[in-house]
Amino acid sequence: MSFPPTFAASFTSPETASPFAAAFAALRAQAPQLRAEDVATRRQRLGRLESWLSSHRTDIQAALHQDFRKPAAETDLTEVWPSLTEIRHTRRHLQQWLAPQKVGTPLSLLGTRSWVQLEAKGVVLIIAPWNYPFYLALDPLVSAIAAGNAVVIKPAEQTPATSALLRRLAEELFRPDEVLVVEGGKDTATALLALPWDHIFFTGSPAVGKVVMRAAAEHLSGLTLELGGKSPAIVDDTANLRDAAEKLVWGKFLNAGQTCVAPDYVLAHHTVRDALVQEMRAVLRRFYDPEGAGVKQSASLARIVNAQHFARVVGLLEDAQVRG
């Protein structure tokens, strides 16, 4: 199935939001029709999305490898499989979720009936992050489509190959007044945030989350923020150190550590600290350098997304070494 190409625009300053006016108006005009669609129609739309993901698995792998050098198996595990699982779960339960729920009626309203009816919000903006750029764009998209909304996705500019693939997905599956992908950087995001969205879904850092929250407040837009945090791991003196080391290394080095729930630091009992470090070194060699050619040559390890983030990580490592 093919539809007219998705609108796309690039911006040089936040003041040039006017190119979005026609696209936003089209989405707003289409929103009531999407809201009125029955469960079967929404499930069919999600079914097309599921089929596209299944038939374009190698394209997804190629895009993530271009952006991160992410291994194909890791892309399947962290980008493709979770997206397919989300779609299938939503299709399976959508009828139940959208069914009116009877609730009690107060005595003062005797003679009436009461129920909870879920309704679409309208036009939704999804600002996706760079660390899992495919899955974390698709996951909220599935929910937005299931709920009957028109959607705009702003992919991360740090992952251009995945961003282009998301745009292609939208162009091949949806009309531009149903799902619209807009590529660009900070100025594009700023221009988008100036519009009166019915809901905004943002995944990213707390610092940018505050910016998004202020923009949403201007229009009293609904808002979902999924922000980063700290994830300590605790290893006590009763732990199986080999098992702990394998789990810590896998969790930390998946996606080259660029995961919001990756273990940030380890609190180890002083009696097992040195042994745990040795076990982790052995696991690193076993996972990423079994031939002794060096971890840098590993095809099983994703890479840091760009030079800026690489320099930031190097700075953190150097600071830790200096501070002991």
Strand order in the sheet with 222-227: 179-181, 150-154, 123-127, 199-204, 222-227
Segment among 211-215, 229-233, 261-265 with least mean pLDDT: 229-233
For residues 1 and 117, the model is more confident at: 117
Long-range CB pairs of 70-73 (<8 Å, 24+ gap) are: 70/255, 70/302, 70/303, 71/299, 71/300, 71/301, 71/302
pLDDT higher than 50, residue 66: yes
> What's the pLDDT score for residue 1?
52
On the question of pLDDT at 63 being above 80, the answer is yes
Annotation marks residue 86 as catalytic = no
CB 130 within 8 A of CB 44: no
Cα 272 from chain centre:
37
d(CA 131, CA 128): 9
Rounded Cα distance, 125 and 90, in Å: 20
Exposure string over 191-220, b if 16+ CB within 10 A, otherwise e? bbbebebbbbbbbbeeebbebbeebbeeee
pLDDT of residue 229: 77
Catalytic residue chosen out of the listed positions 37, 157, 172, 226: 226
Q: Is the pLDDT confidence value at 263 over 70?
A: yes
* Domains parsed from the chain with CATH numbers: 20-101+114-227 (3.40.605.10), 232-323 (3.40.309.10)
> For the whole model, what pTM was predicted?
0.89
How open is the CA angle 51-55-57, to the nearest 5 degrees?
115
The tens digit of pLDDT for each residue in 173-191 reads 999 999 999 999 999 999 9
Higher pLDDT, 308 or 3: 308
The catalytic position among 50, 178, 260, 279 is 260
Q: Average pLDDT in the 104-120 region?
A: 93
- Which pLDDT score is estimated for 318? 92
The Cα–Cα gap between 184 and 155 comes to 8
pLDDT at position 193 is: 95
Q: Which amino acid is at 217?
A: A
Query: What pLDDT score was predicted for residue 12?
Result: 41
- Give me the mean pLDDT over the 195-220 stretch: 96
Give the separation between CA 16 and CA 185, rounded to whole angstroms: 13
Q: What is the chain's mean pLDDT, rounded?
A: 92
Catalytic residue status for 260: yes
Q: Which residue has the tokens 């489509």?
A: 145
Q: What is the mean pLDDT of residues 11-34?
A: 75
DSSP, res 5: P
pLDDT over 70 percentage in the chain: 94
More confident residue, 4 or 93: 93
